[in-house]
C-alpha cells in the first residue's frame, strides 16, 4: 500500500475516534484532542473541518460540538433493527403502564429506548437510567426529571 493511502487510513480512523469522543462528551477542545491523539492542533483543526463538512459537528473557536441533541440521540441510539415492530409494540404497551408522578428505572437497550419514546404524555415523571440516549431524549421533556448514575442529568425546577 502506498504511504499516502496508509496516512489517509490513519486520518479516517482518527476522525472516527474524534467523532466518537464528541458524541460521548458533547464537545471537545482542539488542544485536548491534539494531546489525546498525539497530533498537532493544525491536524485536529483539519479533522474538525472535515467532520463539519460531512455534517457531523459544528466548529467553534478552539473546539467543536455536535449539531443538536436530537443528533446525539440518533447517534447513540441502538441500531439493532431486528424485531423492531415487536419492540415498538412493547414500548407503547409498557409506557401505557406508567402513571403521572411515578418514578421508573430504564436500562439501556433498543426496547427500553422505545418505552422512553412513548413517555411524553406522562406528567411529573422521574426516570433513572444508565442510557445516555434515553437521558437526552427524556431530558428534553419539560415534565420529566432524569437521573443517571454519577449525578443528575436534568432536575425539575422547584415550584
Is residue 45 situated within a structural domain? yes
Q: With bands split at pLDDT 50, 70 and 90, how would you rate the model's confidence at 3?
A: very low
Averaged confidence pLDDT in the chain: 83
pTM of the model: 0.49
Residues 83 and 150 in one domain: yes
Is there a single domain that holds both residue 26 and residue 60? Answer: yes
Q: Please indicate, yes or no, whether residues 81 and 141 belong to a single structural domain of this protein.
A: yes
> Does 159 map to a domain?
no
Four-residue CA torsion sign, 110, 131, 66, 45: negative
End-to-end CA distance of the chain: 65
DSSP 8-state secondary structure symbol assigned to residue 98: -
- What mean pLDDT is predicted for residues 126-137? 92
- pLDDT of 31-64, one tens digit each? 999 999 999 999 999 999 999 998 888 888 888 8
Average pLDDT over residues 115-131: 95
Given a cut of 80, is residue 158 above it in pLDDT? no
Query: Torsions phi, psi of 3, nearest 5?
Result: -55, -40
Could you give phi then psi for residue 157, rounded to 5 degrees? -65, 150
Question: How wide is the angle at C-alpha 31 spanned by C-alphas 37 and 152, nearest 5°?
Answer: 95
C-alpha cell at 30: 482542539
**CATH at residue 61:** 1.10.10.10
Is residue 84 predicted with pLDDT exceeding 70?
A: yes
Residue 113 domain boundaries: 75-154
Amino acid at each position: 500500500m502506498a504511504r499516502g493511502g496508509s496516512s489517509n487510513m490513519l486520518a479516517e480512523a482518527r476522525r472516527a475516534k474524534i467523532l466518537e469522543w464528541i458524541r460521548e462528551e458533547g464537545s471537545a477542545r482542539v488542544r485536548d484532542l491534539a494531546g489525546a491523539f498525539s497530533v498537532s492542533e493544525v491536524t485536529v483543526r483539519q479533522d474538525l473541518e472535515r467532520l463539519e463538512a460531512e455534517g457531523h459537528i459544528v466548529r467553534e473557536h478552539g473546539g467543536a460540538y455536535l449539531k443538536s441533541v436530537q443528533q446525539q440521540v440518533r447517534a447513540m441510539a441502538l441500531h439493532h433493527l431486528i424485531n423492531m415492530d415487536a419492540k415498538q409494540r412493547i414500548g407503547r404497551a409498557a409506557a401505557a403502564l406508567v402513571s403521572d408522578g411515578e418514578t421508573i428505572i430504564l436500562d439501556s437497550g433498543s426496547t427500553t429506548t422505545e418505552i422512553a419514546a412513548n413517555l411524553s404524555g406522562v406528567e411529573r415523571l422521574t426516570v433513572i437510567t444508565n442510557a445516555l440516549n434515553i437521558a437526552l431524549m427524556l431530558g428534553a421533556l419539560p415534565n420529566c426529571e432524569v437521573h443517571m448514575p454519577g449525578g443528575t442529568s436534568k432536575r425539575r425546577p422547584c415550584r
